[in-house]
Structure 1
Amino acid sequence: MVTPTDDLSTDELFALTLQGDEEDPGAWRAIWQLHHRGGEDVFQRAAAWLQSSSPKERGRGANVLSQLEFRHRLPERVARFTDVLLPALAKEQDAAVLEAMAAALGHLGDPRSVPALLPLKDHPDAHVRFGVVMGLSQHRDAQALQALIQLSRDPDETVREWATFTLGSQAREVDTPELREALVDRLSEAHPKIRGEALLGLALRKDARALEPLRRVLEGGVVTTLDVEAAQALEDVSLLPLLLEHREGFDAEEADPEFLAVLFEAIQSLESLPR
């Protein structure tokens, strides 16, 4: 697919990354194009921006490095990108730039990022702590998991949600008592997505403590796709009647197609189990 930025020079694309606010769609199209273009020139420009006096340029440099050449990125390239990000992170003070750098390290997945990110888990700015969650999301060593457990109890709702998601679903291959307890702690959440991530994480590990809270959720008014996925993952056929009630009670015109697809798949899955 040809985009309006395909014919622009690297200089022009870098200039476009600075337009608007941090989430400006045009800026992110330019960043995406630089990710695809790759090459030494793009790397050198992004690395140089990490040393800029402009916080926005430093943040955009990290944004570009985060997924540069992601389609065919060799381990030595990941190491090289990390080599320029780590010293920049160590001296950075701007919260928005710290978030961008932490998230970039998360995309790169170099294990050297873990000790560099750990001191930021207690940063006073929630955006930085969110960046730490993103930065640690690929790592499964004990230090990274302990930090994510701490962040799953963070006072900021978004930080808690993504840390719980990382522990519950993304790190589903990890199963420790401490991780399970962290998920159990989130079952009392008022926020349905955080609670749903905790339920799904416990269900994926076949933890029986998910059953009764999940039953109460399915009997209540607000049910999310996460709750339905948890019912399927837990594989307890006693939940099937509740799922059937939701199927029978949906409005075909107003129902969310994604929710219905997940619901029908969960019903089919539980119906196939022995009773």
Structure 2
Amino acid sequence: MKDRSVPELIALALQGDEDDETAWEAIRELHDRGGDEVFEAAVKLLHSASSRERGRGADILAQLRSPELVTRCADEILSALVTEQEVPVLESMAVGLGHLRDARAVPVLQPLKDHPDSDVRMGVVMGMMPHRDPVAIQTLIQLSRDSDEDVRNWATFSLGTQAEEVDTPELRDALFDRLTEPDIELRGEALVGLALRKDPRVLEPLRRELESSYVIVLAVEAAQALEDVSLLPLLRQLWESPGKADSYFRNVLADAIAHLEGLVR
């Protein structure tokens, strides 16, 4: 890709479907290359009559490596988003604004939290993820209760782990509400978020997860974050369990046990 010209890379970026790997290799090369030529080519795509081209324009502008272009990239996407109607383009624009971390995106994306398409609502989660102001957090709280499981999962992750420094009763309640989710990973994200905030309500649900027949690494991470030494026997029991566990799980479990044992000494 490094030997390709910018027009050649743009042509490759437009090929295939949304997940075409060659297209994304070209987009990543454009990100790395940056500069005015790439910026102008992406802006041209962003204002195309083709929704495919507009989406790819947003994908390219989202992560240009040139620091001096970041604000200009956000300017262009924010301006174009106001009149955009196509779902894939709205998603690309919302995700792109998340990468650009421009605070102006928050009030622009906030109305899209109620968009009928879950892909757009997922884009709003990604767009809000870097921000900590009350509007962004409130939007993520609402999306943590979304009808779509993937949207709920990512919003819960955004609140629980990514926004660890934010701690309000409403945010904690939103995480607590996710502890009854049927999806074990979603429950795990909520467990970690509550444990990081030392919410005492998480102890018993966490204990049940550690006692279950299938324990995921998020539950172990939550046990370490909560720092309640009453969980040590359960962690040691997991260590001695004959069940299958990969090396990553074992390493996280070892760290959690060592951490809690250090609190006992």
Q: Same fold (TM over 0.5)?
A: yes
Work out which of the residue numbers 38, 46, 56 in structure 2 matches 1:42.
Answer: 38
Q: Distance in 2 between matches of 1:9 and 1:240?
A: 58
Gap regions ≥5 residues in structure 2:
none
Structure-2 separation of matches of 1:89 and 1:261:
44
Deviation readout 1:61-109 (Å, 9 max, x if unpaired): 111111101xx524xx322111100121111111011000000000001
Q: Secondary structure of 1:91's match?
A: coil
Distance in structure 1 (CA, Å) of the matches to 2:144 and 2:16: 32
Distance (Å, rounded) in 2 between the aligned partners of 1:262 and 1:65: 37
1:265 to 246, 250, 255: 255
- Aligned equivalent of 2:93: 101
The 8 Å contact of residues 175 and 190 in structure 2, kept in 1 or not, is answered as yes
Q: Which residue of 1 aligns with 2:126?
A: 134
Instruction: Find the aligned partners of 2:222 and 2:10 in 1 and give their Cα distance.
Output: 43
Deviation at 1:25, TM superposition (A): 1.0
> Match of 1:60?
56
**When the two structures are aligned, how many residues end up with a matched partner?**
265
Matched, 1:117 2:109: yes
CA distance in 1, matches of 2:214, 2:155: 22
Match of 2:22 in 1: 26
Tell me the equivalent position of 1:274.
264
DSSP 3-state at the match of 2:14: coil
Q: Find the counterpart in structure 1 of residue 47 from structure 2.
A: 51
Structural RMSD (CA): 1.1
The alignment partner of 2:102 has SS state of coil
Distance 1:257 1:20 in 2: 37
Normalising by structure 2, report the TM-score: 0.98
Q: Structure 1 stretches (4+) deviating beyond 6 angstroms?
A: none
Distance 1:250 1:90, change over 3 A: farther
* CA positional deviation for 1:250: 4.2
Once residues 247 and 115 of structure 2 are traced to their aligned partners in structure 1, the CA distance between those partners, rounded to angstroms, is 40
The amino acid across from 1:13 in the alignment is L
CA distance in 2, matches of 1:208, 1:239: 13
Determine the C-alpha separation between the residues in 1 that align with 2:262 and 2:245: 25
Gaps of at least 5 residues in structure 1 are none
Question: Percentage identity across aligned positions?
Answer: 61
After TM superposition, the score normalised by the length of structure 1 is 0.94
2:246 aligned with 1:256, yes or no? yes
